[in-house]
Each structure stands twice: as structure tokens, then as C-alpha cells.
């Protein structure tokens, strides 16, 4: 008997009697202002949310914040003139030297400051992690309250990969002191387009 | 109301004053109190050490002594919990009745006697040690881990005592480290836990540490006395029964 | 690890020799518990959420066979190769054969307690394969050749000066440098190089979704993603209990996990893998290693509900004062103490006794495992199966015989004589253990019973 059969048959013998799943597992969360909550939580986890009216505002803000920065890539057509780094590459290792990635997020979650980023919008899975700094643009109308709503909003297997990103990469593995920029991006700015 | 008093072995042997205070307090509050003379122990020391299977005779003896009473009351949360969870004598009907009707003193005063005021006076700064078994097992106080409204039956009762001032602890319901045989099999950790618990009370200016479990109090007293501390340890029954002078 | 029998109590005694360090360890972990409290008190429905997590997991355990086969089918359709490993050895061999197939001898690995449980690193080292752990805490302990002392915070037992020394030796950081920012930056550079050069990456699995055949990996550092997305081959290793029915159930678990673990509202990255990227190969290794046995133990099976948040570690007053290594098992803390005896009763018989049964662990557990009740139950099993020292058994037996008989108790009991000899806190007839650091209670003039007979009878 293969290990597969052995394991599955032992499980069948040993698992308890079937127990129905009829517990409430989705809950309502009510916030006065979704953007404010999202912004508050995002700053708690080390990121920054900026409310903007249009792409020009974002562009101006990026230009002032990252003036002099080179090796910028974007997946958003409106910012193509900011980018000097093409994502049209075959090998993701080539992203090694990327300084700034400007990408689109599908939607955001107020309770935890997370943004769903998927292969729908990023040509390389490693893009939001390998870049030194990350900018995500998300529509204000696309903020949901909590994770229950988030999973109603996304079909996780629509793409081969998707991730919730909540703030910049971080660690507290040395004496519980928080350090931003462990392996992934050192900074995260989220523009919320209203 | 006929109440049988269960006085665990430590109290009987080392802290008779706690048994006396419990008995007097219950009598003051109008209960007819009986102390069944052939009682020994709840069986917890054996069971918590993994020897529950040796408890048949102990359980039967307990049932023999405590069957037929309206209520059984004990000044020990830990022993009460053990009976509630694990008493299985040969006479299951009587065992069940006991499991259902045994109360730790403070929950008995609040839930059954519905005590609203007391005549006690105790003009000291008091730190309350929430013993784990009473708190997390019998739920006589809200547990700090749960997202639920706070309450504490012991605090409610102490609040009825004139002159008392209850101090706030930094960690309000951390275990003292007694833990039955744990206190010797894991001596280092047990003592460290006890020292830390005592330090919290000391730091917050307690003059007296109280609680509803003599085993925890004995452990902390052992540490306080070794440190030469002036802090005294008193069971909650002694405070609630303290006479107005 | 080694085969020498280590005892929790002895290791804890050693740990307690440096009291200042114990204080620091206790306070650091209490700080994490406090962060957890702050986070969960912001969720009014927290207790219902725990109940939901618990019920979903109960349901999964009762239908594991079908969920696993559903998962296997979907994952295979997604282009993932699914392997089954009966034990740690087979798990290690499968991984080794995948690495060998690629013709490489190095691998990068993000946190996976399962691979610790199976001792994968040691196994691969013997085969000449170098493994680099990419989680910062794990990398630190790996350099020091120590096991992790905590499942979420692997290097929590170390001070920044220890890390500074280790990095000075292995990464060439300045001697005496202890700034966490500086040290983390050094690790970032070192590991970035690793991520960019490894062809095989291994990750753990936090949740595997039966409905969709995908899996979720949660990290704060982004190390699982960096490894997996840059490698040609991604291996994900999971214990079979990681399965959940549907993606919508992740709503519950992702709300519970990080808040319980570190007080964060969610981990920085919660990555959902469903298909290998173009040109990549993806493998999942589903491991038993004793889990089917545990599943068959009615009293202990719900330990398999664990989502490895480590809240029970942080709240445990014994863990905080004895350190993770005193548990001598891959998963320390309260949950480790109910998992380990299943794997090896003789070797881990001490662990269920390394607790005061205070119950705080069960209260913080996001999936409501009755941890302290299981500790109690393991004690009964271990004693019955003869895994408790004979000295202790004799002590307890003589105590039981006294307490079983009122007559015997009374003669033995006059003025504390019995307790002095056989009370639980002096069970080996060895008063010194109590008395070492604590005073004995004073023996009163008369027992309560004698007073009662005098006054009330
Ligand atoms: S037993 Fe519960 S609290 Fe402990 S690690 Fe597992 S899920 Fe977390």
C-alpha cells in the first residue's frame, strides 16, 4: 500500500463522526468612515494612506517624494512616463535592482489595512516584495470593512497567485524591536483614489 | 438551609482559622452548617499527578460524607473545581448531586445566599490573588484573556467590607505557580512564579494578600516569610468574617 | 535533535540560574501577550470568532478524508504535484529527491515547523544539501546551531547582544554592534543574495483550501514570497490538518491568526498560491507523522486544530519562565506538551507535568483547544502506561492510601504530621524541595477538625 492509501485509510478509520458545520462564521463590522479606518490601521502597520482625487495628484506626489529615484517600474498606464524600468522581462531575477514599483490593488480591507494584489495586475509575483519601495493605488469605492467581506469580493483561484499586503515588510525577531524592511519593500504608500 | 462544610486537608491541618472563619461566616448569614467528620480530601493531589485511577475509595468516601445536603461549601476554589469536574463515586446519583451543588465560598455567598452587605471591617490595603482554578475553572471572576465584561465575585464581596482598600495589580490574574505537585517537581519555575506574583503585590503596596485558595496563599506566604516581608496573607473568609470592633 | 533524555524541570532549573534574564524573557513575552489583548479587544465578536474557528476545525477533522482527496484533486488540476509522506523520514526523502532531480545542492526555506518536527535540515545536511532558513529569527538560531525556542519568534530567547555576536561571526557585522535596525539590514543583504541564487525554495503552509486546491502562507518579512517567486521549484510542506473547506473560511482564520500571534491585525503578507508561475514547478508534501494516531485518540485529537499562533506560549507563565528549549521538542509551550507525547511518550512524559493547569492557554487559543484539560488527561495516560518515575508513584500511592481512609487520615493527620510527610508539595518525602526557597506553614495548636469537635459537637 502506498503512503497515500495508508494515510487516507487510517484517517478514515480514526476521524470522528461527521460533524455538520452550522456555526455563524461571517460577521458584520461597522465603521463610520472606511477610508479613515483603513488609513489608521495602515499607519499602525507601518504604511501610509493618502487620499487623492485623480492620477495627476498621485503623479505629483510620487514625483515630489521620490525625486531623483531611478529604476521605477509601473503596471499602471497613467504613470508610464514615471517609469524607467520595463516589466517586460522574462526572468523575475532581473527585478533585483528595482527601487520603486507602482502597482494597482484590486481592493482594500479597512480592519487590517490590507490590499489584495494579484496576478491580474502584476506580471511578476515577486514584484511587490523585491522592490525597495512599493506604491499601491486602490479605488476608494473598493474598500471593504473586514475579511469576511474581502473573501466575498475575491475568488482566490481566479489567478494563480494573489496576496493581501498589509504594510511594508517587517520583523521583530531581534528582541521584539520592530524593524521595517525585512526582506520585502522598505516602505508602502497607498493612494486611495476617491 | 443545610450546608455541609468541606475543609480540604491543608486547611484542616495548617490553616484551621480559615475553616473557623468560613463556618462562623456561614452561620452569621443564617446557614445551618455541618462538618461531616469522616471527610479527607477531594482527590486532586493524586489526580493532578496522573493518578486519578487511585481515587475510587477517596471518591466513595467523599460521597459517603457529603450526600444528602442541600449544598456543600468549601473555602477552596481548586478543591471545589476538582469535585465538580471529577467526582465519580459508585453512587452516581449522589455524586451528580454533589457535583452540582458544591460551591466555593465566594460564589456561594454571591450566587446562592445573594449577600448584599456584610458587617466586616478590615482597614488595610489588600491585594486579591485570583486563583486560577476558581477563576478559569469555576468562573468566579472574568478572565483577562476573554473579550467579555469584567466581574469578580471576590471583589464584590471585599467591596462590602468597611475600611478596606483594594490595590490594582499589574497582571491581574497570573498564576502563582503552586500547581500541586508542580511546586516540588518544577521547583525553580514554581518559586519564580511565586516570587513574581508576590512582587506585583509588593510593588503595588499591598499590606495583605487575600484569595480564595489556601494552597496558593500557602505558597506565597512561604515565599513572603522567606523574604522577611511584612505582607500578611489572609484567606478571604477571614476578611469577610473580621469583626467590627 | 539528540536522544539524550532531557527533563523540563532540570532544564528550567538551569534557565532560572540567571534571574535577570528570566525576568527579561518573561516580560518580553508578556509584552506580546499584551499586544494580543489590545488587538483582540478591538473585535467585539472575538469570542464568536474563536467559536467559529473551533467549529470549522472540528468539522474538518470529522471529514478529513474527503477534504484531503478533494484538495489533492484540485491541486493536481491546478498543476501542482501532490506527495504523501507517512512519516518524517519519507517527508525528508521526498524533498531530497525533488532537490536532487533539479541537480542542485542548496535550498532556501521559509518558516515551517513541520520541517523542524521532521528534522529536515539535519537530514539534508547529511546528504550534502545546504539549507538556509530565511526567516530572520530562524536564520539567527540556525547560525548558532540551536533549535528555535518559539514557533512564531524563533530567537526570542536571545538578546540583541547575542545576535550581534552571532552576526559578527557569520556575517561580518561590526564587533559589538547590537542595533536591531543595523543587524536586520545585514541579514537582509545576506538573505537577498540567497533568494536570488537558489533554484529550490521550501515554504510551510498555514492553510490549504480543499475547494480550490490552493494554499496560504503568512509571513511578515516576505521571505516565503521572495524564496518561492524567484525559485524554479517551490515545495510546500504541510501536516494534513492544515486543510480547511473553503476560501471563505479564511475570513475567520486570518482574522484570528495574527491578532493572537503578535497583536497585528493581519500578517504583512498572506499569500495565496494556486498555480505554479509559468515555467515553475510546484510540489505539495502532505505529511502524517503521527497525526493519524492523534486523530484516533478521542481525548487528544482536537490538538490537531492548532493554527500555530503561539498565543498559548506567550501567555504561559511556565513557558515564560523556563524558555522554549526546556521543552526539548520542535514545538514547545503548552501545545507542544500535548502534541509531543503522541510522538514519543517515553521521551516526552515530563512535558504534560510542566504546567500548573492554570488554564490561560485554553482561554487565548483562537481555535479553543482545551489545552489544559488535555495536559491533565495526558498525565493519566502517562502514569497508566508506566512513564512516571517509580519514586513519584510510591509517594502518590502512599498519599492516596491515607486519603482514601478517614481513619488512617486521622491518625496520620494529627497536627500536620501526615501532610508534613506526604502532602503533594513534599511528595518524595523530601521536605527540602519546598523548604529550599519557601518557609513551611506554621503548625497550629489544633486542626480544624479538633476545634470543631471541641466547639461544635
Ligand atoms: S494551541 Fe491554540 S494558542 Fe497554541 S499555538 Fe495552537 S492555535 Fe495557537
Cβ contacts (< 8 Å) between B146 and chain C: which residues?
47, 363
Average pLDDT, whole number, for chain B?
93
* Chain A residue whose CA is closest to C189: A183
Q: Would the CB atoms of C28 and A176 count as touching at under 8 Å? A: yes
Candidate of C255, C308, C324 to mutate for ligand 1, largest count of ligand atoms within 8 Å of Cβ: C308
Please write the tens of the pLDDT for every residue from B124-139.
999 999 989 888 888 8
Q: Using a CB–CB cutoff of 8 Å, tell me whether C85 touches chain A.
A: yes
Query: Between B179 and A146, whose confidence is greater?
Result: A146
Contact C414, C448 (CB under 8 A): no
- ipTM for the predicted complex comes to 0.98
pLDDT at B181: 85
Which residues in chain C touch residue B48, judged by CB atoms under 8 angstroms apart? 357, 376, 379, 424
Q: In terms of pLDDT, which residue wins out, B24 or B52?
A: B24
Q: Which residues of C are less than 8 Å from A185 in CB distance?
A: 222
Which pLDDT score is estimated for C419? Answer: 56
For β-strands A133-139 and A170-171, DSSP reports them as unpaired
Structural contact between residues C92 and C235, judged by C-beta atoms closer than 8 angstroms: no
Count Cβ–Cβ pairs < 8 Å, chain A vs chain C.
256
**CA dist., res. C346 & res. C5, Å (int):** 9
Cell 517527508, located at residue: C91
Angle at B102 between CA B97 and CA B103, to 5 degrees: 150
The mean per-residue pLDDT over the stretch B143-169 comes to 95
Q: What pLDDT, on a 0 to 100 scale, did the predictor assign at position C428?
A: 47
- At C427 the pLDDT is 46
pLDDT in tens, chain C (457 residues): 334 467 999 999 999 999 999 999 999 999 999 999 999 999 999 999 999 999 999 999 999 999 999 999 999 999 999 999 999 999 999 999 999 999 999 999 999 999 999 999 999 999 999 999 999 999 999 999 999 999 999 999 999 999 999 999 999 999 999 999 999 999 999 999 999 999 999 999 999 999 999 999 999 999 999 999 999 999 999 999 999 999 999 999 999 999 999 999 999 999 999 999 999 999 999 999 999 999 999 999 999 999 999 999 999 999 999 999 999 999 999 999 999 999 999 999 999 999 999 999 999 999 999 999 999 999 999 999 988 876 566 667 766 776 777 766 666 655 455 555 555 455 444 556 788 888 888 888 888 999 999 998 7
**CA dihedral for C430, C431, C434, C437, sign (positive or negative):** negative
A148 alpha carbon, distance to own chain's centre: 17
Indicate the fold that domain A34-193 takes in CATH. Rossmann fold (3.40.50)
What's the pLDDT at C456? 82
Cα separation, C42 vs B153, in Å, equals 26
Q: What is the largest CA-CA distance in chain C?
A: 90
Interface test with B, best of C326, C394, C404, C417 (most B CBs within 10 A): C404
* Touching B: C residues 374-413, CB under 8 Å: 376, 379-384, 388, 392-393, 396-397, 399-400, 402-406, 409, 413
Q: Which residue of C has its CA nearest to B64?
A: C406
Reduce the DSSP state of residue C238 to 3 states and report it.
strand
Q: Is the CB of C99 under 6 A from ligand 1?
A: no
Residues A181, C26, C168, C329: what is their CA dihedral angle, to the nearest 10 degrees? -90
Q: Is the CB of residue C366 less than 8 Å from the CB of residue C50?
A: yes
Q: Is it the case that chain A and chain B have 3 or more CB pairs lying under 8 Å apart?
A: no
pLDDT of residue A165: 98
Q: How far apart are CA C296 and CA C348, in angstroms?
A: 19
Q: Is B77 within 8 Å of B133 (Cβ atoms)?
A: yes
CA B162/CA C314 separation, integer angstroms? 39
pLDDT score recorded for residue B163: 95
**Cβ distance of B53 and C9 shorter than 8 Å:** no
Choose the mutation target among B4, B15, B49, B180 for the interface with C, i.e. most C CBs under 10 Å.
B49
Compute the distance between CA of residue C331 and CA of residue C316 in angstroms, rounded to an integer: 14
Give backbone dihedrals phi and psi of B36, rounded to 5 degrees, phi first: -60, 125
Note the pLDDT of residue C400.
73
Residues 259-278 of C with CB under 8 A from A: 262, 264-277
pLDDT of res. C136: 96
C155 CB near ligand 1 (under 6 Å): no
Which ligand 1 atom is at minimum distance from the Cα of C303?
Answer: 1
Q: How much is the pLDDT for B10?
A: 82
For residues B75 and B157, what is the distance between their CA atoms, to the nearest angstrom?
14
Nearest beta carbon to residue C266 from set A112, A157, A183? A112
C153 touching A (Cβ < 8 Å): yes
CA distance C269 to chain B (A): 27
Q: Phi, psi at residue B126, to the nearest 5°?
A: -120, 135
Classify residue C450 by burial, with Cβ atoms within 10 Å: 0-12, 13-18, 19+.
Answer: middle
The full set of domain ranges for chain A reads: 34-193
Q: How far apart are CA A100 and CA A185, in angstroms?
A: 9
Closest listed residue to residue C305, CA positions, set C256, C248, C354:
C256
B1 pLDDT band, cuts 50/70/90, is confident
Which chains reach chain A with 3 or more Cβ–Cβ distances below 8 angstroms?
A: C
What's the CA gap between C417 and C403, in Å, rounded? 13
CB C307 within 8 A of CB C253: yes
Give C324 Cα–ligand 1 centroid separation in angstroms.
15
Q: Is the CB of C113 under 6 A from ligand 1?
A: no
* Three-state SS sequence of B35-65: CCCCCCCCCHHHHHCCCHHHCHHHHHHHHHH
C416 touches chain B (CB under 8 A): yes
Q: What grid cell was written down for B20?
A: 473557623
Cα–Cα dist C359/C409, whole Å? 31
Residues of C in contact with A111 (CB under 8 A): 255, 265
By the 8 A CB rule, do B66 and B98 touch? yes
**Mean pLDDT calculated for residue range B26-55:** 88
pLDDT tens digits, residue range A117-147?
999 999 999 999 999 999 999 999 999 999 9
SS3 state at C233? strand
CA distance C283 to C82: 6
Annotated domain spans of chain C? 405-456
CA C329 to chain centre: 8
Instruction: Quote the distance between the C-alpha of residue A39 and its chain's center.
Output: 14
- In angstroms, rounded to a whole number, what is the distance separating the alpha carbons of residues B68 and B63? 9
Residue B154 CA neighbour count, 13 Å, CB half: 30
Residues of C in contact with B61 (CB under 8 A): 404-406
Query: Chain C: nearest CA to B209, how far in angstroms?
Result: 16
For ligand 1, the distance from its centroid to the CA atom of residue B93, given in whole angstroms, is 37
Distance CA B104, CA B75 (A): 6
Taking CB atoms and an 8 Å cutoff, what residues of chain B touch C53? none
Residue A94 clears pLDDT 60, i.e. is over it? yes
* DSSP single-letter state for residue C152: S
CB of residue C369 inside a 6 A radius of ligand 1: yes
Q: Are C287 and C240 in contact (CB under 8 A)?
A: yes
Which stretches within chain B are classed as H helix?
9-14, 16-28, 44-48, 56-66, 77-86, 92-101, 105-107, 132, 153-158, 182-185, 187-203, 214-227, 236-240
What is the average pLDDT across B36-62?
85
Q: Name every chain C residue with its beta carbon within 8 A of the beta carbon of A24.
A: 48, 52
Interface A:C, ≥3 CB–CB pairs < 8 Å: yes
Size of interface B-C (CB pairs under 8 A): 249
Residue B148 class from Cβ within 10 Å (0-12 exposed, 13-18 middle, 19+ buried)? Answer: exposed
Amino acid at each position: 500500500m502506498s503512503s497515500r492509501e495508508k494515510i487516507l485509510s487510517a484517517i478514515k478509520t480514526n476521524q470522528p463522526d461527521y460533524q455538520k458545520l452550522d456555526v455563524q462564521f461571517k460577521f458584520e463590522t461597522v465603521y463610520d468612515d472606511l477610508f479613515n479606518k483603513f488609513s489608521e490601521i495602515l499607519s499602525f502597520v507601518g504604511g501610509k494612506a493618502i487620499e487623492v482625487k485623480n492620477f495627476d495628484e498621485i503623479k505629483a506626489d510620487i514625483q515630489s517624494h521620490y525625486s531623483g529615484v531611478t529604476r521605477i517600474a509601473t503596471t499602471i498606464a497613467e504613470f508610464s512616463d514615471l517609469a524607467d524600468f520595463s516589466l517586460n522581462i522574462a526572468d523575475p531575477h532581473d527585478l533585483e535592482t528595482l527601487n520603486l514599483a507602482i502597482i494597482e490593488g484590486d481592493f482594500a480591507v479597512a480592519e487590517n489595512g490590507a490590499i489584495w494584489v494579484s496576478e491580474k495586475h502584476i506580471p511578476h509575483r515577486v514584484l511587490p516584495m523585491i522592490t525597495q519601495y512599493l506604491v499601491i493605488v486602490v479605488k476608494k469605492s473598493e474598500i471593504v470593512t473586514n475579511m469576511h467581506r474581502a473573501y466575498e469580493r475575491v475568488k482566490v483561484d481566479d489567478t494563480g497567485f494573489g496576496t493581501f499586503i498589509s504594510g511594508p515588510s517587517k520583523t521583530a525577531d531581534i528582541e521584539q524591536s520592530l524593524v521595517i524592511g525585512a526582506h520585502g519593500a522598505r516602505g508602502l504608500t497607498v493612494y486611495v483614489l476617491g | 438551609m443545610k450546608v455541609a462544610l468541606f475543609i480540604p486537608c491543608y486547611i484542616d491541618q495548617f490553616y484551621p482559622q480559615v475553616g473557623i472563619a468560613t463556618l462562623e461566616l456561614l452561620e452569621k448569614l443564617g446557614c445551618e452548617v455541618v462538618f461531616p467528620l469522616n471527610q479527607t480530601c477531594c482527590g486532586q493531589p493524586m489526580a493532578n499527578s496522573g493518578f486519578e485511577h487511585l481515587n475510587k475509595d477517596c471518591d466513595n468516601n467523599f460521597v459517603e460524607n457529603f450526600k444528602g445536603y442541600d449544598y456543600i461549601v468549601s473555602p477552596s476554589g481548586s478543591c471545589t473545581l476538582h469535585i465538580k469536574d471529577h467526582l465519580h463515586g459508585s453512587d452516581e446519583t449522589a455524586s451528580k448531586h454533589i457535583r452540582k451543588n458544591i460551591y466555593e465560598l465566594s460564589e456561594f455567598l454571591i450566587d446562592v445566599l445573594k449577600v448584599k452587605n456584610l458587617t466586616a471591617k478590615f482597614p488595610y490595603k489588600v491585594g486579591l490573588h485570583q486563583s486560577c482554578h476558581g477563576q478559569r475553572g469555576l468562573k468566579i471572576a472574568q478572565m483577562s484573556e476573554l473579550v467579555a465584561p469584567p466581574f469578580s465575585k471576590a471583589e464584590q464581596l471585599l467591596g462590602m467590607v468597611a475600611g478596606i482598600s483594594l490595590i490594582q495589580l499589574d497582571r491581574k490574574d497570573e498564576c502563582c505557580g503552586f500547581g500541586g505537585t508542580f511546586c516540588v517537581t518544577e521547583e525553580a519555575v514554581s518559586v519564580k512564579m511565586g516570587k513574581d506574583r508576590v512582587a506585583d503585590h509588593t510593588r503595588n503596596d499591598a499590606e495583605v494578600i487575600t484569595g480564595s485558595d489556601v494552597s496558593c496563599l500557602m505558597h506565597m506566604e512561604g515565599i513572603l516569610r522567606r523574604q522577611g516581608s511584612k505582607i500578611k496573607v489572609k484567606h478571604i473568609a477571614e476578611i469577610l468574617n473580621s469583626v467590627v470592633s | 535533535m539528540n536522544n539524550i533524555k532531557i527533563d523540563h524541570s532540570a532544564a528550567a532549573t538551569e534557565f532560572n540560574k540567571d534571574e535577570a534574564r528570566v525576568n527579561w524573557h518573561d516580560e518580553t513575552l508578556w509584552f506580546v501577550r499584551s499586544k494580543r489583548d489590545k488587538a483582540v479587544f478591538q473585535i467585539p465578536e472575538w469570542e464568536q470568532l474563536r467559536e467559529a474557528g473551533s467549529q470549522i476545525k472540528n468539522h474538518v477533522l470529522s471529514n478529513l478524508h474527503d477534504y484531503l482527496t478533494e484538495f489533492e484533486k484540485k491541486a493536481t488540476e491546478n498543476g501542482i504535484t501532490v506527495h504523501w509522506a507517512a512519516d518524517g523520514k519519507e517527508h525528508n526523502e521526498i524533498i531530497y529527491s525533488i532537490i536532487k532531480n533539479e541537480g542542485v545542492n542548496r535550498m532556501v526555506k521559509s518558516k515551517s515547523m513541520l520541517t523542524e518536527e521532521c528534522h529536515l535540515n539535519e537530514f539534508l545536511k547529511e546528504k550534502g544539501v545546504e539549507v538556509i532558513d530565511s526567516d530572520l529569527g530562524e536564520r539567527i538560531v540556525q547560525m548558532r546551531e540551536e533549535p528555535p525556542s518559539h514557533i512564531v519568534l524563533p530567537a526570542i530567547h536571545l538578546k540583541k547582544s547575542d545576535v550581534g555576536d552571532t552576526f559578527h561571526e557569520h556575517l561580518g557585522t561590526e564587533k559589538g554592534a547590537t542595533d536591531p535596525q543595523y543587524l536586520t539590514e545585514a541579514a537582509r543583504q545576506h538573505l537577498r543574495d540567497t533568494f536570488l541564487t537558489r533554484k529550490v525554495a521550501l515554504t510551510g503552509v498555514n492553510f490549504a483550501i480543499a475547494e480550490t486546491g490552493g494554499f496560504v502562507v503568512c509571513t511578515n518579512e516576505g521571505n516565503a514570497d521572495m524564496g518561492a517567486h524567484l525559485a524554479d521549484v517551490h515545495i510546500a510542506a504541510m501536516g494534513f490538518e492544515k486543510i480547511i473547506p473553503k476560501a471563505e473560511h479564511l475570513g475567520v482564520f486570518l482574522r484570528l491568526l495574527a491578532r493572537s500571534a503578535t497583536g497585528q491585525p493581519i500578517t504583512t503578507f498572506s499569500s495565496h498560491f494556486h498555480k505554479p508561475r509559468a515555467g515553475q514547478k510546484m510540489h505539495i508534501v502532505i505529511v502524517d507523522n503521527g497525526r493519524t494516531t492523534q486523530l484516533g485518540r478521542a481525548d487528544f485529537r482536537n490538538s490537531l486544530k492548532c493554527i500555530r499562533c503561539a498565543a498559548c506560549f506567550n501567555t504561559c507563565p511556565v513557558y515564560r519562565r523556563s524558555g522554549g528549549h526546556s521543552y526539548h521538542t520542535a514545538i514547545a509551550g503548552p501545545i507542544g506538551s500535548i502534541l509531543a507525547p503522541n510522538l514519543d511518550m517515553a521521551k516526552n512524559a515530563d512535558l504534560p507535568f510542566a504546567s500548573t493547569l492554570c488554564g490561560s492557554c485554553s482561554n487565548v487559543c483562537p481555535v479553543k483547544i482545551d489545552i489544559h484539560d488535555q495536559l491533565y488527561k495526558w498525565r493519566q495516560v502517562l502514569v497508566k502506561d508506566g512513564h512516571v518515575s517509580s519514586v513519584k508513584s510510591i509517594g502518590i500511592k502512599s498519599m492516596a492510601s491515607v486519603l482514601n481512609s478517614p481513619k488512617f487520615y486521622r491518625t496520620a493527620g494529627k497536627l500536620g504530621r501526615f501532610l508534613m510527610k506526604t502532602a503533594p508539595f513534599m511528595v518524595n518525602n523530601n521536605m527540602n524541595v519546598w523548604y529550599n526557597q519557601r518557609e513551611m506553614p506554621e503548625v497550629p495548636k489544633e486542626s480544624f477538625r479538633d476545634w470543631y469537635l471541641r466547639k461544635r459537637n
